[in-house]
Structure 1
């Protein structure tokens, strides 16, 4: 094939669905271009963490795809490796409940309140989503926390239960010491798990970053910005293509293990991506307004954001003229971003107006690809590896549709996928990052490591 007949990047990286309506994603029915196919090092890394151990598969059959074939062989989640909660005798304590809202796998959800007995609240609204027969998912649920000095304490949990999909029940409030307090915490942890997987993990990192990766791959060929961005896109399109079936498709773990349908999972994903804009987002937007002594997430998030600002700023300082010399590629990237964006109109645009916008975009993408994904992904097994502690779906055992065998399969599906996703440690920054990025992270490790050890901080969303 001559150079003139080589396929264009836009043909190699086709979008799926309707422009401006569907998630701006690579069409999972199309083959991955060689440029983004998994390399042998990634294949070997994933193969090491497939259960049971298997020979390294062909590139087309990457490790995680085998997980769903193993579910029937696993009789109970308890034979899996121990997780954080199974090793914590205090896992049902109120103090641990508070700590996980601060530092667990679904961070940044505490909101300040005014004029209440409590100062912070985490709320999940599930009213838009239908529940499968026999499933237990509150219509709304909120956990409230009291600030005393520099510590948070559990105040109460209020929730509205459904009867089927009827949401007419009155709110129920439970406080520490109430007979149903432990049930209220379990109900909250289950709803939180659903939002962790759909919004914090899949939508905000995987699918949000994919819209930038698609616009990049379809347009950027010669621009110097490739040296900065491309290492942080490695593996993303491959894992998202696999995830279309394994994680959130019709047979995916989330619809299969939770109480909501594939359609509602996709609705949750789109709702989250539609409100994300690199122009306006900063981790301080979701940081606690008060100092809390064991709030490790906020300190780590802000430190890493500032590090990425320095890292990107130095790159632009060194190579701004080179970036400008191929600006037509950035304009093409901007056009694809805007044309396929599902961002709500009132929240602005993803357009790259100038070089400062491009700098903001790079900071946002690198932060989400590295720190935020590492936090939400590698903490999954800490809670999700223990069905007794946190189940993606709760089920009424007295309901006529309840089947213990189906429930067991759902549970092992959750444990297997969270273990696999949390165990594949490919491309750590402290091994494969640039010397500048590694040095900046090392200098501020005391702010980052109480929340996330540096060895768990990866370059890209590869799993």
Structure 2
């Protein structure tokens, strides 16, 4: 655009004093201008207005003779009817085909979406009656190095009015804008993107280059494998693996055979790998602080009958500072069983079972991988953060809260839109590569989204000194507390002054969140009861969510247009929670995908029923994923782990408050001691 402006300025004889102007005939100049897009025309008009006409004297808007009015509402109505588009900037322009348009006036929509713009028709030019046009703008911001905010405006739409309007009043009426609309076809809070449409936001330019750089080395590898399969020359899983870069577990087996399959490594990855999650105490040994349990209840969901996905109950024990698996209970269906709640046979395995123990650990790794992809990664980070992103973009404009939150919410809806068909849906990789059907994936995600809430959240305490993930999570949570507190100390009064936006933000979050989901086991064993074995800090408040009919999963921050006692602290907690999952938590789960899901035989999303069952040696080709799924899995794991753009420390768009950057940089050594390079923590979810 800058090049276009320079060329037009030169063409109009407005070049710099020491430059030779390139003068064009009026007709040719008109052709130039008419070839520009709307945003470029607006930029040219703004740039040249002061050069081609005398500057306007300052005028009291109340004295201007003409007025344009109207009201902006969202495209879709809410339960109570039309939803106003509040605090949006509206500009009134005179369209001049073939020449720079004339700016007439501006205003903002009020809390009801209504606007009034006073203007002088004479500003359209001598002898020219204005051709009216409204243009709509949303706020953007950057931060200077000293923490001061620089505001700008991004055009998001327009509405043509009458040509040659000679009256002194024009009412544009009620205008519906399709702006950050919710998708009515899903029970989850998802952005509506029509088949031929585009989202109301875009990736930062550098992200596309990062994706290309990450994927280019392996794209041809995957294509070659898929071509071989189509030609009837399918490669073995071993050769597929060998064609990709060496991953951590492959390297470990090359250097020390058996090391990546050991009990100690199994426990270490459950603590600190991409699988890192809440680890409850073992309820069967109350009071024993060294006994732990992980449980994955897959029999509750429909399965395809071709793959084996049993209930997995892992019991672990803290021994000499390490977490070791001591028992694995599998609830195995019969091959071909598809219905949720199918009869199961429970089999228990211990380290004394030799090869069967190794097979049971592999089954547990596969279960943990699928649970991580659907839960820790896709559900708790991607889809969870999306619901906050939509509500924030729809409602936060005057409130300084957007300066704190929107940098962390800016691209998540884009990557989630891709995931809707790439990972899930009828042809998504998770649907094709796991035992879950399309319907059960949807059900599982709805259950997961029904269990996430900002209220009361805090990272769980480490279970041992070697629990690096939990130590890092608590350190980052503390850092975010300092950042959020400092932001509210600086802008808290302005946040309170625009509390109506907070209320609308909160109302939409609650209204569009999933119904709270508490499974029968937790209802019977935890809700309303003393259950010291159950880690509550990362879970929603079960006692408040078991009511009938089920309340919404996300708790309200406020119910009033003026903050009540305790609500400012509640808002701080929400902000801390959202930033935590958009940054640290997503980075931990996503960046370790290649390490923990980069070897097909070590872990995958699903194992098939083979001729000899499923508890067989790793190299049984009947059980392992087929070559097409194997190459897709490795391609996806590499792409997710290696596509990185938008780091906190880089602050590429200058939209993060520099305080967060400095707080993180100051703790780099502490995080490094826990195995985390702070340079790898992204500022938002865009992969």
**Displacement of 1:352:** 2.0
**Displacement of 1:459:** 0.4
**Displacement of 1:151:** 2.6
**Displacement of 1:442:** 3.1
Over the aligned positions, Cα root-mean-square deviation in angstroms equals 2.7
Equivalent positions of 1:24-423 (< 5 A) are 24-29=189-194, 31-34=197-200, 36-52=201-217, 72-73=226-227, 76-89=240-253, 90-116=259-285, 119-138=291-310, 140-163=311-334, 164-165=336-337, 167-179=342-354, 180-284=356-460, 287-288=461-462, 290=463, 292-344=464-516, 346-347=544-545, 349-353=554-558, 354-398=567-611, 407-423=626-642
Q: Assess if the C-alpha contact under 8 Å between 1:273 and 1:342 holds in 2.
A: yes
Q: Assess if the C-alpha contact under 8 Å between 1:9 and 1:218 holds in 2.
A: no
The one of 661, 675, 679 aligned to 1:455: 679
**Displacement of 1:80:** 1.2
SS in 2 for 1:158: strand
Corresponding residue of 1:59: none
* Range that drifts further, 336-345 or 121-130: 336-345
Q: Assess if the C-alpha contact under 8 Å between 1:277 and 1:343 holds in 2.
A: no
More strand, by proportion: 2
Separation of aligned partners in 1, 2:304 and 2:295: 22
1:441 equivalent to 2:664? Answer: yes
* Range that drifts further, 120-129 or 404-413: 404-413
**Displacement of 1:421:** 0.7
User: TM (normalized to structure 1)?
Assistant: 0.88
Q: Answer 1 or 2: higher relative contact order, Cα 8 Å, separation at least 6.
A: 1
Q: Assess if the C-alpha contact under 8 Å between 1:98 and 1:153 holds in 2.
A: yes
Corresponding residue of 2:28: none
* Range that drifts further, 447-456 or 385-394: 447-456
Separation of aligned partners in 2, 1:218 and 1:9: 14
| Cα deviations by residue, 1:320-365 (Å, 9 ceiling, x for unpaired) | 1222232222222112112211141843653221322221111010
SS in 1 for 2:685: coil
Separation of aligned partners in 2, 1:108 and 1:276: 14
**Displacement of 1:189:** 0.6
Unpaired runs of 5+ residues, structure 1, are: 55-65
Q: Assess if the C-alpha contact under 8 Å between 1:276 and 1:343 holds in 2.
A: no
| Cα deviations by residue, 1:271-292 (Å, 9 ceiling, x for unpaired) | 11111111122112xx34x4x1
After superposition, the Cα gap between the structure-2 partners of 1:332 and 1:49, relative to the gap in structure 1 and judged at 3 Å, is same
Separation of aligned partners in 2, 1:133 and 1:404: 13
Count how many residue pairs are aligned between Structure 1 and Structure 2: 443
| Cα deviations by residue, 1:353-379 (Å, 9 ceiling, x for unpaired) | 132222111101000000000011111
* Range that drifts further, 417-426 or 125-134: 125-134
| Cα deviations by residue, 1:22-80 (Å, 9 ceiling, x for unpaired) | 0101024363445x2123211111121224578xxxxxxxxxxx999787258523311
Separation of aligned partners in 2, 1:456 and 1:170: 44
Separation of aligned partners in 1, 2:409 and 2:638: 23
Separation of aligned partners in 1, 2:221 and 2:439: 23
**Displacement of 1:147:** 1.9
Separation of aligned partners in 2, 1:262 and 1:403: 23
Corresponding residue of 1:63: none
After superposition, the Cα gap between the structure-2 partners of 1:171 and 1:397, relative to the gap in structure 1 and judged at 3 Å, is closer
| Cα deviations by residue, 1:171-202 (Å, 9 ceiling, x for unpaired) | 21111131301000011011111111101100
Q: Which has the larger radius of gyration?
A: 2
**Displacement of 1:94:** 1.0
Q: Assess if the C-alpha contact under 8 Å between 1:47 and 1:53 holds in 2.
A: no
Corresponding residue of 2:121: none
SS in 1 for 2:650: helix
| Cα deviations by residue, 1:239-270 (Å, 9 ceiling, x for unpaired) | 01111111112211111111111111111111
Q: Assess if the C-alpha contact under 8 Å between 2:404 and 2:657 holds in 1.
A: no
User: TM (normalized to structure 2)?
Assistant: 0.61
**Displacement of 1:454:** 1.2
Separation of aligned partners in 2, 1:103 and 1:378: 12
* Range that drifts further, 89-98 or 341-350: 341-350
More helix, by proportion: 1
